[in-house]
Amino acid sequence: MFAVISRILYPNWLSIAFFTKGWGLFFSEEIYNISVFIGIVFLWHYLIAGFAVTSVLTNIAIAIGTRRYLAGGLCTSSKKLTGQTVIITGANGGIGKETARDMCRRGANVILACRDVRKAEAAKLDIQAEGGSVQVRKLDLSSLQSVRDFASGIISDNIKVHILINNAGVMMCPYMETTEGFEIQMGTNHLGHFLLTNLLLPQMKHGQPARIISLSSLAHIGGKLDLNDLNNKKSYDKIQAYCNSKIANVLFTRQLAKQLSGTNIQVFSVHPGLVYSNLGRYLMPQFVSDYLYCVMQKTTLEGAQTTIYCATDAHQHSEMYFSDCAVGWA
């Protein structure tokens, strides 16, 4: 249902390009999901509808079209990023890792900014074969001191940053607090990235084109920020807290665009879609997510497409909010 609502709000899926481009990537990603859908078609015909060839083939085509619809937009840009420095938070897995892999493929120098250095080093070994260069730096967004330390390292090494991707996040978890006592979702998803972005801005004002991409969510439409209770301590609701952190991402991007007007920096907030990743571990049992709910979700590579699009071909729009590789609605 969430994916359907998303696609209704973002009508770019009605374009011809949406259904004509990227089929090679789609089929390489969708083997499991398409197999499940086709299996359902055959079961339906075996138990109820009978095996009329035309009817079976029609329903298989509908099944594949449905998965193409749910998979969302695909970035078809061939733009190279040779020599550019890309910082990606939370890049040791999920959407972040797939984004890092793509950036490396384009020749960028990628910095994996991660809390778990061991996992990040493992991701580095997997990614660096794609080309470009990869390095790992410690960044724990739930600690503002860690954010300051990370930024200080980038500044002291005089690294010019061309693309900053605020990707890391937590979703709908039980009440926890950051090192400084902020609710963990607001602290990690927004406040940590807010500080990181502001500290790195001097490294992005170097005269060359630069981009800041913050991952938000369609869930921002449910956000209701109470500046007197950002921690939601009065009555903690993990879903509401997540929505609040996501609308904060959108509002931050809008304000940042005003501040950076006339500079070399473009800013974007991104709705990646409903993605099968570890981010949803607090929402449902793992086996349900792994074998059932996943057929309604994007793969991590599909979920990374809008981020990749905003890092390459997208142009800052008055709304600055993108979904499925096109301007969205916030």
**What's the CA gap between 276 and 274, in Å, rounded?**
7
End-to-end CA distance of the chain: 18
Supply 209's token pair: 């084109």
Phi-psi category of residue 117: left, alpha or beta, with phi > 0 → left and psi -120 to 50 → alpha: alpha
Q: DSSP letters along 36-87, please?
A: HHHHHHHHHIIIII---HHHHHHHHHHHHHHHHHHH----------TT-EEE
Beta-carbon contacts of residue 159 (< 8 Å; ≥ 6 apart): 85, 111, 203
Q: What is the dihedral of CA 187, 190, 195, 200, to 10 degrees?
A: 140
**What's the CA gap between 324 and 267, in Å, rounded?**
17
CB 212 within 8 A of CB 267: yes
Supply 92's token pair: 């040791």
**Of 10, 69, 242, 282, which is the active-site residue?**
242
Query: Is residue 242 annotated as part of the catalytic site, yes or no?
Result: yes
CB 271 within 8 A of CB 323: yes
Query: For 21, phi and psi rounded to 5 degrees?
Result: -110, 150
Beta-carbon contacts of residue 53 (< 8 Å; ≥ 6 apart): none
Query: For 188, phi and psi rounded to 5 degrees?
Result: -85, -50
Phi-psi category of residue 163: left, alpha or beta, with phi > 0 → left and psi -120 to 50 → alpha: beta
Residue 263 carries which side chain, given as an amino acid letter? T
Residues identified as active-site = 242
